């Protein structure tokens, strides 16, 4: 029996899916750490959670560490401490160190979480990355701009969901960024040369340092472009062709990057720029399951429960590599303007044209507030044997369905 502890800060639907996967995994005794009390654990799960510990802040390494020590008194030694959120990467590593739990170390976690450290490690290992600078003063930014020229991209060193990522085109933009970020040695930001290329992802399963499985998606278009153009609705496409050389030719770069960063066992989510005829460039890597609905896309394309597979991988270092059977894609519905969702347009037409391909959806609800991220208020997943059919369906969905805010 393995003692596994999962950190679920709040019992949200997406998080519960992970809790359920560990609870259902044979040979596992599950402990859960959360900010919410045990009564918030979904009823059907409660009797499968062996132990629960509530903390004040489930994103804090020290809180998680103390909770683990307390759980160890009732459960015995913990074999694995896990969580699915990007922001938990370092806190989980800190808690492992405090409570003597095996798994990703603090040093490796930092490689994955700090964008400047990550790019330094990758560059030193010969992995192609954008030129970058950790900006601690106005002078740092100006000298970087003098070196690489406009445009440059700036972002917080531990950014998420493209929040606060900006493209700077001019000295005015640079001044605006400096007054907004107020960089200092204790509060730096990351500046990067602007890379032009198709933005893709590469999801990798690694076991004891060896890559054993890959999947990948196209962002249509890249998140920054979506952020810069509020009228755009965004899609992610997972093509049917697992052997597409545009993806497979990147795998050696992906392997070199993960090995330089210290990936041992896990599922990682890399963002990279494909440059036709040129060297592809690694953008960033998360040592956690992907967001942007890529877990469900992988599930539909490979016809397996990816969350359950991830749980098994993390606890038993076992992964039965699934073959890709279909193409899958997600279209995000994003309202324009401000306020709340007041109407949905084009649903009937979309239903008529591509409804038969839709396998899952979460439609925006009237009255729902405008979403904070670029992904918008709802989504639909389509799937088919042919990649071009999925691609066309995504195009139809985002050009037909309109979310009206007001």
Ligand X SMILES: Nc1ncnc2c1ncn2[C@@H]1O[C@H](COP(=O)(O)OP(=O)(O)O)[C@@H](O)[C@H]1O
CB 121 within 8 A of CB 261: yes
Contacted by 160, from Mg ion, ligand X, none: CB < 5 to 8 Å by type: ligand X
Burial of 96 (0-12, 13-18, 19+ CB in 10 A): buried
Residue 314, preceding peptide bond in cis (omega within 30° of 0): no
The nearest distance, CB 159 to ligand X, in angstroms, is 4
Helix (H) or strand (E) holding 332, with range, is: strand 327-333
Q: Nearer to ligand X by C-beta: 192 or 203?
A: 192
Segment interacting with ligand X (CB under 6 A) among 67-75, 221-229, 241-249, 369-377: 221-229
Q: Nearer to Mg ion by C-beta: 5 or 118?
A: 118
Q: For residue 386, what is the DSSP state?
A: -
The nearest distance, CB 345 to Mg ion, in angstroms, is 31
Does 224 help bind ligand X (rule: CB under 6 A)? Answer: yes
The nearest distance, CB 155 to Mg ion, in angstroms, is 9
Does 322 help bind ligand X (rule: CB under 6 A)? Answer: no
Q: Nearer to Mg ion by C-beta: 99 or 154?
A: 154
Q: Which has the closest alpha carbon to 234: 361, 82, 395, 73?
A: 395
The nearest distance, CB 315 to ligand X, in angstroms, is 27
Rounded-to-integer distance, Cα 85 and Cα 105, Å: 16
Contacted by 155, from ligand X, Mg ion, none: CB < 5 to 8 Å by type: ligand X
Q: Nearer to ligand X by C-beta: 164 or 308?
A: 164
From the list 162, 207, 212, 389, which residue makes contact with ligand X (rule: CB under 6 A)? 162
Contacted by 343, from ligand X, Mg ion, none: CB < 5 to 8 Å by type: none
Q: Nearer to ligand X by C-beta: 85 or 393?
A: 85
CB 140 within 8 A of CB 133: yes
Neighbours of 386 (CB within 10 A): 12
Does 222 help bind ligand X (rule: CB under 6 A)? Answer: yes
From the list 8, 75, 99, 195, which residue makes contact with ligand X (rule: CB under 6 A)? 195
Segment interacting with Mg ion (CB under 5 A) among 67-75, 189-197, 271-279, 318-326: 271-279
CB 158 within 8 A of CB 149: no
Site string for ligand X, 120-149 (x = CB under 6 A): ----------x-------------------
Q: Nearer to ligand X by C-beta: 195 or 381?
A: 195
The nearest distance, CB 190 to Mg ion, in angstroms, is 12
Helix (H/G/I), strand (E/B), else coil: 201 = strand
Q: Which has the closest alpha carbon to 223: 290, 171, 133, 276?
A: 290
Cβ neighbors of 329 (< 8 A, separation 6 or more) are 235, 236, 237, 238, 297, 381, 382, 383, 390, 391, 393, 394
Does 199 help bind ligand X (rule: CB under 6 A)? Answer: yes
Does 354 help bind ligand X (rule: CB under 6 A)? Answer: no
Q: How many residues does the chain have?
A: 406
Tokens of 16: 């519960």
Does 393 help bind ligand X (rule: CB under 6 A)? Answer: no
From the list 114, 271, 312, 375, which residue makes contact with ligand X (rule: CB under 6 A)? 271
DSSP string of 343-368, one letter each residue: EEESHHHHHHHHGGGEEEEE---TTP
Does 155 help bind ligand X (rule: CB under 6 A)? Answer: yes
Rounded-to-integer distance, Cα 214 and Cα 84, Å: 19
The nearest distance, CB 234 to ligand X, in angstroms, is 11
Beta strands 2-7 and 80-82: pairing type?
parallel
For 195, phi and psi rounded to 5 degrees? Answer: -100, 130
Site string for ligand X, 164-183 (x = CB under 6 A): -x------------------
Find the binding residues for ligand X in span 10-69 (CB under 6 A): none
Contacted by 1, from Mg ion, ligand X, none: CB < 5 to 8 Å by type: none
Q: Would you report the helix, strand and coil content of the chain in percent, each value rounded to 5? A: 40, 25, 35
Q: Nearer to Mg ion by C-beta: 79 or 86?
A: 86
Residues near ligand X (CB under 6 A), total: 19
CB 262 within 8 A of CB 108: yes
The nearest distance, CB 222 to ligand X, in angstroms, is 3
CB 205 within 8 A of CB 216: no
CB 283 within 8 A of CB 228: no
Q: Which residues are near ligand X by CB under 6 A?
A: 130, 153, 155, 159-163, 165, 192, 194-195, 199, 222-224, 271, 283-284
List residues binding Mg ion (CB under 5 A): 271
């Amino acid at each position: 029996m393995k003692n596994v502890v999962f950190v679920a800060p709040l019992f949200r639907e997406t998080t519960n899916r992970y809790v359920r996967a560990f609870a259902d995994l044979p040979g596992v005794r599950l402990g859960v750490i959360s900010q919410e009390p045990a009564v918030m654990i979904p009823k059907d799960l409660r009797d499968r959670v062996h132990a629960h510990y509530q903390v004040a802040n489930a994103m804090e390494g020290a809180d998680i560490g103390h909770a683990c020590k307390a759980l160890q008194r009732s459960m015995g030694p913990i074999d694995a401490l896990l969580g699915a959120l990007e922001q938990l990467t370092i806190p989980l590593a800190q808690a492992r160190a405090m409570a003597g739990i095996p798994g990703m170390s603090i040093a490796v976690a930092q490689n994955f979480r700090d964008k400047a450290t990550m790019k330094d490690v990758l560059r030193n290992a010969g992995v192609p990355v954008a030129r970058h600078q950790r900006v601690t003063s106005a002078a740092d930014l100006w000298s970087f701009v003098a070196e690489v020229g406009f445009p440059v991209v700036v972002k917080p060193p531990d950014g998420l969901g493209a929040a606060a990522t900006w493209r700077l085109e001019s000295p005015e933009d640079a001044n605006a960024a400096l007054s907004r970020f107020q960089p200092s040695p204790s509060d730096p930001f990351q500046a990067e040369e602007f890379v032009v290329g198709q933005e893709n992802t590469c999801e990798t399963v690694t076991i004891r340092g060896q890559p054993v499985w890959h999947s990948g998606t196209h962002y249509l278009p890249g998140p920054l472009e979506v952020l810069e153009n509020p009228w755009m609705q965004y899609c992610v496409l997972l093509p049917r062709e697992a052997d597409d050389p545009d993806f497979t030719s990147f795998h050696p770069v992906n392997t070199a990057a993960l090995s330089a960063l210290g990936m041992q066992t896990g599922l990682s989510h890399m963002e990279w720029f494909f440059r036709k005829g040129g060297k592809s460039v690694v953008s960033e890597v998360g040592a956690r399951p992907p967001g942007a609905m890529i877990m469900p896309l992988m599930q539909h394309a490979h016809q397996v429960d990816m969350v359950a597979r991830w749980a098994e991988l993390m606890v038993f270092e076992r992964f039965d590599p699934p073959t890709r059977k279909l193409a899958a894609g997600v279209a995000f519905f994003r309202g324009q303007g401000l306020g709340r969702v007041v109407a949905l347009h084009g649903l009937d037409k979309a239903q008529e044209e591509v409804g038969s391909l839709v396998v899952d959806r979460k439609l925006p609800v009237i009255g729902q507030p405008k979403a904070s991220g670029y992904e918008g208020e709802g989504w639909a997943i389509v799937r088919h044997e042919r990649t071009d059919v999925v691609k066309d369906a995504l195009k139809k969905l985002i050009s037909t369905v309109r979310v009206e805010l007001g």
